[in-house]
Structure 1
Amino acid sequence: MTDGGELGRAAAGLLDGRLRPAALRAALVDLYEFWLRKAATAAGLDTAEPGVSLVAVGGLGRCELVPFSDLDLVLVHNGNPRVGEMADALWYPLWDAKVGLDHSVRTPGEAVQVASEDLRTALGLLDARHLAGDADLTARLASAARDLWRRTARKRLSELADSVHTRWRRSGEIAQSAEPDLKHGRGGLRDFGVLEALAAAQLTDRPNEELLAAKGLLLDVRTELRRELRRERDVLSAPEAEHVAAELGFSDRFALARKLSGTGRVIGYAVDVALRSTVEPPRARFGRRPARTPLAEGVVLHGTEVALARDAVPAKDPALLLRVAAASARTGKSISYGTLRTLADSAPELRTPWPDDARNALVELLGAGEGLVDAVEALDRTGLWARLFPEWGAIRDLPPRSPVHQWTVDRHLVQACVEAAKLTTTVSRPDLLLIGALLHDIGKGRDADHSELGAKISAHVAERLGLSRTDVATVSAMVRHHLLLPHTATRRDIADPATVSRVAKTLDSDVVLLELLHALARADSLATGPGVWTDWKDRLLAELVASCEEAMHGKGFTPPEPLDEAQRDLVGQAARTGLGQVRITAHGKVVTAFLAVPTGGELLAPAAGVLALNSLEVHSAVLHDAGRAGVFTASPRFGSLPDSALLREQFARAVSGALPLIDRLAAKERDYSTSSVPVVAPRVRWFDDETSGSDTVVLELRAADRIGLLFRVAGALRGEARVRWAKVATLGGVAVDSFAVAPRSGRIEPGWRRTVESAVLAAAG
């Protein structure tokens, strides 16, 4: 069987079977080996004079061939004049079968020379395995490649470490990631290859059973992912994870994600330790002892690692563990493996309440910035973090339920501290901000409201830390209400006195708590994922907090300003001319548009449609004068601001019905649609007590965001409701839109809500 089409059909048949992942990989190896050996015989490798061999490297060389992998092949020769013909006879059928191929034709000397200059080639040849032809030639190549690596590996460790760290920065982590890169991410299959290469150079031990099991899981997940997608892909996203989890016997994708996160930690930590233990500090090469620079009491910088001072006594110093971690986070230097083992074996338990120096060291650790991530990971891998916070076990490696989040819950909390550290000068109690950031989602992973449960858990933790009763209550309230400000600012009318009054009452008029929640909201959003925190959200929260501060200080609520003279003139002009009118101002990339329509005209739908047509994402809409005028604030989804004259002309045509908004927006949505938008079922919620007026209620819609969504929803509302105000927020790919609506009949009658809800859901679906 040397026909490429027959090879492709056979491979497809294996994918359609129900082989388990390991059996499928073995079957693919057997299939390609069989075909390549037949093809090699037909090409003359077995009948020609000795001196040509076909060698597999990569996945085929390791006998770990996953579906849709490239074949990495080397045709080795000793100067045979027919080697070019043989190569063509081997490569062309594979290309015809659309098999990915990474190939080369070299003499052993050429191959070794390339390996001496190119690190990737040097590592690849460690997997060299004979397929066909002159077996002695293959053996000489494999032996020479391994000998070269053993002789030169130590000199190339810095280059290896740089390549690993560059790949980590590009591909992210498997541990604690919502969409892990199984091959290239930190803790992935490429990293396992690094461990095997270091072992082949006799610089480290061979991977143990825990690491081998971690590798096996990554291979199985990668195999099932590619079998499901029928193409090459190594990033596991949520939709595919459901299928993969079922095929591998996990209860759901969240159970698989948690296992994968732990797997990534095992491999990633092993690679980090291996590289740090083998790459020699520059001074050590010249026979000098590494310098020991004091960092804190009992803590020194030993060469390039944080270590214990010679006079440190871990068994008698409960806070030493936290000072070591804080020094590591502050300097960005790793904690030495020996120090971690000593602390794990000797550090005493911190008794309740913690002493002041331990609590201060914790705050220093949490406020250290980016270095906190690696410091916590080092403690967590050795069981030390769980000693400090036993509650961490419930959220460790816990995958997020929302597609907006890019991290597991535990990593999100650490990242929130990183962001909160940048805000400590904005609050009067930075210590409570950092502790609140660490604990704000501690209640997740259980069958309960995570804010309410988290408030109880955080109160126990705060008591253990030795905080005062007042501070314990503040931390608990931060966790209980950590979503209050962002939800209110983005989903409610912050110009409504009822909104501000409700927030102030909820927080018991505590200005300190208000400012802590303001900073925590920013840190929480920034730690969630790209696009969650925006300039507009920042502005909304600032306005809400300012209004609440006024109310809390007893200055009373300042009602929204009435239309100014220019705005009233524009409303009058719309009435006189019978045309829609627009006045636009811009602050940076944020547009504020005041729009007015003639008496009896419709404002919300035409305005939303025209803004969407110009790729403007609406953040808020406040309607005045019985819905004849409104202030819309928006910013470009991409690119620059639209031409204001064009926007005015389009709005006038839309109000008059001359602009076919439905068709134009449908075309625009087709042009700019993206598969990254999460597929979520739209959902509506009603709130009765958050507006002024007994005939008005709040309708909150959550749906997948897309161009023209507000326009379609406004059109759905037009038939049954008057819209008093609207708030629009986009969290990742999900829109959360709130509308204060009243029946056009003037009374909320039975069945009205169901009618409105059905229309809105149909428009958003």
Structure 2
Amino acid sequence: MSGLIDISAPKTAAADKASNKRGLWHRWVVPLVSVMESHEPPLDMAEIEAACAAIDESKSAKRRAAMLALLRDRLAAARTQQKSELTETKDGVIYVGLNAWMIDQLLEILRREAVRATGGKPSEDMAIVAVGGYGRGELAPHSDIDILFLVKNKVTDNLKSRIEYILYMLWDLGLKVGHATRNAADCIDAAKEDQTILTGLLEMRHVAGDANLSQQLSDMFGAYVDKTKPLQFVEEKLAERDLRHQRLGDTRYVVEPNIKDGKGGLRDLHTLLWTVKYAYRATSLIDIVDQGILRASEARRFAAAQRFLWTVRCHLHLYAGRPEERLDFEAQMVIAPLMGFADRGGLRAVERFMKRYYLAARDVGNLTRIFCAAMETDFRKRRKFFQNSFKVSRDIGEFQLQAGRISLSEDVLFRDAPLRILKLFQLAQEHDADIHPQTLHRITRAMPSIDAETRADPAANALFLDILTSSTNPERILRLMNESGVIGRFLPDFGRIVAMMQFDMYHSYTVDEHTIKALGILHRIETGGLTGVAPVASEAMPEIGSRRALFVAVLLHDIAKGRGGDHSILGAEVAQKVCPRLGLTPAETETVAWLVRHHLLMSKIAFRYDLNDPKTIEDFAAIVQSPEQLRLLLILTVADIRAVGPTIWNGWKAALMRDLFSRTDAVLKGADPTVIAQGNADMARALAFEKLVGQTETGQTETSKTETNTGATAAITWSAATFEQHADNFPSTYWTGFDVESHCKHAALCQQFQKLETPLLIDLSPDQGRRATEMTVITVDDPGLFSRIAGAVAAVGVNIASARITTCSDGTVLDVFYLQTIDNQVVDDAALLTRIRDFVTKAAVGKMRIADALSARWQQTPKRIRRFPVPPRVLLSNNISKTHSVIEVNGRDFPGFLHKITRCMVGLGLQIQSSSISTYGERVVDVFYVKDIFGLQILNERRQQHIRNALLAVLQASDENDADEIRGGDAA
């Protein structure tokens, strides 16, 4: 089986002619051969040999140092040339091939020098064999060099010295080397015990030394492989691949993918090559085509995907200066222009680059299915991974259901009736079955048959709508339809968002993957799977009358992203065209268009604006118009948010959504929002009275145990008089802003505050349900207090999710902050809570240099966050509230964002009543309800513009290029 190590170019004229017919793709998958045919050697062996001959041989230590300097210089020059060529050609194939060739030459030089240095006989039996990726003839800039020192029998002292000389020289040259020393028999024994070694030998290649030894090992290894069962190796490799995918999230559509080990990455292509080499004894991709496993067109896709991934990996290694495989946001921004991507068609360069990446990753998935189909057909023995025809087959029309998989009869063609493609997926969904890999392969080849006529066919649209709205979870089948290209072909508008990256730190998936996940979440809401985390949406689902419209709206809600405008407005226009084609009624079409148009509205209102302000509820209800649309919008919003990423939804957001839903529902059913607000305030006050005073009068003592800045606990007994005195100290908005448990807790804290010698009380209460820690601060009112507290919290490294300021009539304030860790979790670490308390205490009394602390935090902020372009924006409106001016500030998040903004507002003479903070990855949106120093809205247009300009100046000064600005301001 010597062909396993043969990656050389075809030797015969006929073979050369056949290779030329195959085109450039052949060169892309054999990089070492490609560069050997088209380039000069990376190292000038004759020049190096002459330079070596001129080195003094009298003192070995000096000679070694001189050799090291010589080789280091020549390697640096070769690498510079390789990097320059990569920049010019944008072709990673050339780089990995030249790099492997360069190491081949280096090893030959070192082998010769080792012979000279150790005084051994040149004929002494040893070969240097490349294995693994280096054996394939591909070597990324910082990849390990895996080599086997192959000896004939045992390692003599002279051979040991020779090997050590080579290794120490390689290490001193800064190379990472994976090495082993064995004879041929030991190699076979090791391969039997360790599949990693077996896989490495599968790609062995003779580099230097005794070629006969390499051939002997190749023959022995081939004989061993011939005796094994191919499918056992294949199963183990595919199982290994699946575990790797699970470890990295099991999706190829993450926004910061691992280009080597992630799903759809280079390792998946390597796995395919290993399995085909082992199962078919193939020596190259050409063999795979010649054996009929792949068509030439599919081989070109394989080659193109591999070439693209090689190029990305080379750029990533060079950018990171190490063997980095994670393509993070910062690397994406750097590499996109290097690979020739520019802004175009409403997409930024980096988004176009990443879309190309995801399409390559999808091609890798399709090729995996093709390989599996071939092996399924060719190896019929039943194994764990490959189910076969020994189980009874059941006919379903033209299809067969066998061993849990659907297939189309061999004598029936998809292209003759493209409707069969959609029918196949419907049956797979109905029977909870997989689709046979061979059948998926046939779908890929029949994709052009899904044309305009098919898209206009009412039967085809009815089938697609049935799949989408089935009572069986559509997520699995829709993802399979998407990865095979069917959805994008059937719905061209959806095809435009396939593999589209959302370049921010908020979204975790591509647009199409996010959409499919949202549909899966919608199904879970409908079936009661999310009752615990989304109870209101789960209760509303059975009450809706427009179920089909809801599922279609989820499918289309992001359909117009990347078109250079408001995707909600543009998406509604797309819905008006697509829905009738799918068979929806005019009423359903209008519902879908309305939902797509407003799919961001509910979360915007809930997370940014004061839900205790009657006008907020009144305006929202005026847009929603009906309880049915309110229910639909709630469910769509929950599905949308939960599909953004695994940590986005939390109890805090759920509580806000429930609050907005219940208040708006009451208004839509005829209640007056002002009356609701006042009634809620009176009811909340009465409930607090009942809980505190009522229990005391019946002989029950209400005990509120709280952890404060003194660490003490207090048991408070209330009378009607003390409660009324306490309650009159708060405005009516306070009573609607918190629940009764909070009112009781605050009452106890206020009583305790009155007994403190120092007028400052800090209470920290982790709330696991909301995934936030509630921090209550009671102290004497001070215009800069809110800003200083915000700065202290930021300096600790904690985020403020929301804040509410209550100014009492006695001159004190009760400020409540909801704190989260940087990954949106509750702050419950004891040491961190203590640190928060210390920082806030110092800040509240003006004994902390907040600017210095924030400067230190800024230095720790990842560069990738600083590099995200987030245009600053400030909006001021008097239409959202009847009593307050509402200021919305948008910008790139940075340590102390809230501190700097609120400090500016204090300087402008604004009183902040409440604040909500919404963070979307690198972007933050803060909304403030403010009044002027007279307690009125800001109505003067010149003053409004002055406020906007001042706040914009703060945001612009916070650019990373203005490092000193992070330290700007006074010591407080």
Query: 1:323-338 maps to which residues of 2 (within 5 A)?
Result: 323-329=423-429, 331=432, 333-338=434-439
For these two proteins, the number of residue pairs brought into alignment is: 758
CA shift, 1:485, in A, is 1.2
Which of 619, 627, 630 pairs up with 1:514?
630
Aligned to 1:389: 491
TM-score using structure 1 length: 0.89
Identity %: 22
Aligned to 2:337: 246
CA shift, 1:138, in A, is 0.8
Does the alignment pair 1:67 with 2:141?
yes
- Deviations 1:102-156 (Å, cap 9, x if unpaired)? 1000111111222233222222222222121111111121233344335422332
CA shift, 1:727, in A, is 0.5
* Stretch of structure 1 that moved more, 629-638 or 303-312: 303-312
CA contact (8 A) 1:717 1:760 kept: no
Which of 919, 932, 951 pairs up with 1:730?
919
Does the alignment pair 1:456 with 2:645?
no
Does the alignment pair 1:753 with 2:948?
yes
* Stretch of structure 1 that moved more, 479-488 or 166-175: 166-175
* Stretch of structure 1 that moved more, 22-31 or 567-576: 567-576
CA contact (8 A) 2:893 2:922 kept: yes
What amino acid maps onto 1:522 in structure 2? V
What amino acid maps onto 1:446 in structure 2? R
Does the alignment pair 1:698 with 2:883?
no
Does the alignment pair 1:581 with 2:761?
yes
What amino acid maps onto 1:631 in structure 2? V
Q: Tell me, what secondary structure is at the counterpart of 1:736?
A: strand
Query: 1:615-626 maps to which residues of 2 (within 5 A)?
Result: 616-625=798-807
Q: Work out the CA distance in 1 between the residues paired with 2:575 and 2:915.
A: 35
CA shift, 1:264, in A, is 1.6
* Stretch of structure 1 that moved more, 591-600 or 157-166: 591-600
CA contact (8 A) 1:580 1:651 kept: no
Which of 504, 509, 524 pairs up with 1:422?
524
Aligned to 2:868: 680
Q: Work out the CA distance in 1 between the residues paired with 2:322 and 2:132.
A: 18
Q: Work out the CA distance in 1 between the residues paired with 2:397 and 2:626.
A: 38
Does the alignment pair 1:439 with 2:539?
no
- Deviations 1:556-598 (Å, cap 9, x if unpaired)? 3222633468657866986996723345555324333443332
Distance of aligned partners of 1:431 and 1:114 in 2 relative to their CA distance in 1, 3 Å threshold: farther
Q: Work out the CA distance in 2 between the residues paired with 1:174 and 1:286.
A: 24
Does the alignment pair 1:170 with 2:247?
yes
* Stretch of structure 1 that moved more, 309-318 or 218-227: 309-318
Aligned to 2:80: 16
CA shift, 1:416, in A, is 1.9
- What residue ranges of structure 2 are gaps of 5+ in the alignment? 1-47, 49-63, 87-91, 283-287, 343-348, 528-537, 682-731, 736-742, 961-972
Q: Tell me, what secondary structure is at the counterpart of 1:401?
A: coil
CA contact (8 A) 1:175 1:397 kept: no
Distance of aligned partners of 1:676 and 1:423 in 2 relative to their CA distance in 1, 3 Å threshold: farther
Q: Work out the CA distance in 2 between the residues paired with 1:386 and 1:667.
A: 48
Q: Tell me, what secondary structure is at the counterpart of 1:592?
A: strand
* Stretch of structure 1 that moved more, 715-724 or 439-448: 715-724
CA shift, 1:675, in A, is 5.1
Q: Tell me, what secondary structure is at the counterpart of 2:800?
A: strand
Q: Tell me, what secondary structure is at the counterpart of 1:620?
A: strand
Aligned to 1:634: 819
- Deviations 1:140-175 (Å, cap 9, x if unpaired)? 212333443354223322111101212222345785
Distance of aligned partners of 1:553 and 1:117 in 2 relative to their CA distance in 1, 3 Å threshold: same
Query: 1:360-509 maps to which residues of 2 (within 5 A)?
Result: 361-364=466-469, 368=473, 370-372=475-477, 374-380=479-485, 384-425=486-527, 426=538, 427=541, 428=544, 429-507=546-624, 509=625
Q: Work out the CA distance in 1 between the residues paired with 2:135 and 2:388.
A: 41
Q: Work out the CA distance in 2 between the residues paired with 1:334 and 1:740.
A: 56
- Deviations 1:616-671 (Å, cap 9, x if unpaired)? 4322112223793333233344652558888667645433223444445555666x
* Stretch of structure 1 that moved more, 519-528 or 312-321: 312-321
Q: Tell me, what secondary structure is at the counterpart of 2:219?
A: helix
Aligned to 1:715: 903
Does the alignment pair 1:607 with 2:789?
yes
Which of 130, 133, 152 pairs up with 1:56?
130
Aligned to 1:185: 262
Does the alignment pair 1:195 with 2:272?
yes
What amino acid maps onto 1:289 in structure 2? F
Distance of aligned partners of 1:135 and 1:648 in 2 relative to their CA distance in 1, 3 Å threshold: closer
Q: Work out the CA distance in 1 between the residues paired with 2:253 and 2:914.
A: 40
Q: Work out the CA distance in 2 between the residues paired with 1:404 and 1:329.
A: 32
Q: Work out the CA distance in 2 between the residues paired with 1:164 and 1:620.
A: 43
Q: Work out the CA distance in 2 between the residues paired with 1:287 and 1:480.
A: 49
What amino acid maps onto 1:579 in structure 2? P
Q: Tell me, what secondary structure is at the counterpart of 2:234?
A: helix
CA contact (8 A) 1:354 1:466 kept: no
TM-score using structure 2 length: 0.71
Distance of aligned partners of 1:659 and 1:182 in 2 relative to their CA distance in 1, 3 Å threshold: closer
Aligned to 1:231: 322
CA contact (8 A) 2:489 2:495 kept: no
CA shift, 1:494, in A, is 2.1
CA contact (8 A) 2:475 2:520 kept: yes
Aligned to 1:306: 406
- What residue ranges of structure 1 are gaps of 5+ in the alignment? none
Distance of aligned partners of 1:584 and 1:72 in 2 relative to their CA distance in 1, 3 Å threshold: closer
Q: Tell me, what secondary structure is at the counterpart of 1:232?
A: coil
Structural RMSD (CA) = 3.6
Q: Tell me, what secondary structure is at the counterpart of 2:85?
A: coil
Aligned to 2:357: 260
Which of 669, 682, 685 pairs up with 1:553?
669
CA shift, 1:37, in A, is 0.5
Q: Work out the CA distance in 1 between the residues paired with 2:337 and 2:361.
A: 20
Aligned to 1:543: 659
CA shift, 1:444, in A, is 1.4
What amino acid maps onto 1:183 in structure 2? K
Q: Tell me, what secondary structure is at the counterpart of 2:314?
A: helix
* Stretch of structure 1 that moved more, 719-728 or 98-107: 719-728
What amino acid maps onto 1:709 in structure 2? F
CA shift, 1:415, in A, is 2.1
CA contact (8 A) 1:173 1:186 kept: yes
Aligned to 2:110: 39
Q: Work out the CA distance in 2 between the residues paired with 1:185 and 1:179.
A: 10
CA contact (8 A) 1:594 1:630 kept: yes
CA contact (8 A) 2:126 2:210 kept: yes
What amino acid maps onto 2:306 in structure 1? K
Q: Work out the CA distance in 2 between the residues paired with 1:389 and 1:685.
A: 38
- Deviations 1:705-750 (Å, cap 9, x if unpaired)? 44x4323332232211221221112223432222223444765425
CA shift, 1:457, in A, is 0.7
Distance of aligned partners of 1:154 and 1:737 in 2 relative to their CA distance in 1, 3 Å threshold: same
Query: 1:19-168 maps to which residues of 2 (within 5 A)?
Result: 19-20=85-86, 21-44=92-115, 47-80=121-154, 81=156, 82-152=158-228, 153-168=230-245
CA contact (8 A) 1:530 1:732 kept: no
Q: Work out the CA distance in 1 between the residues paired with 2:469 and 2:834.
A: 54
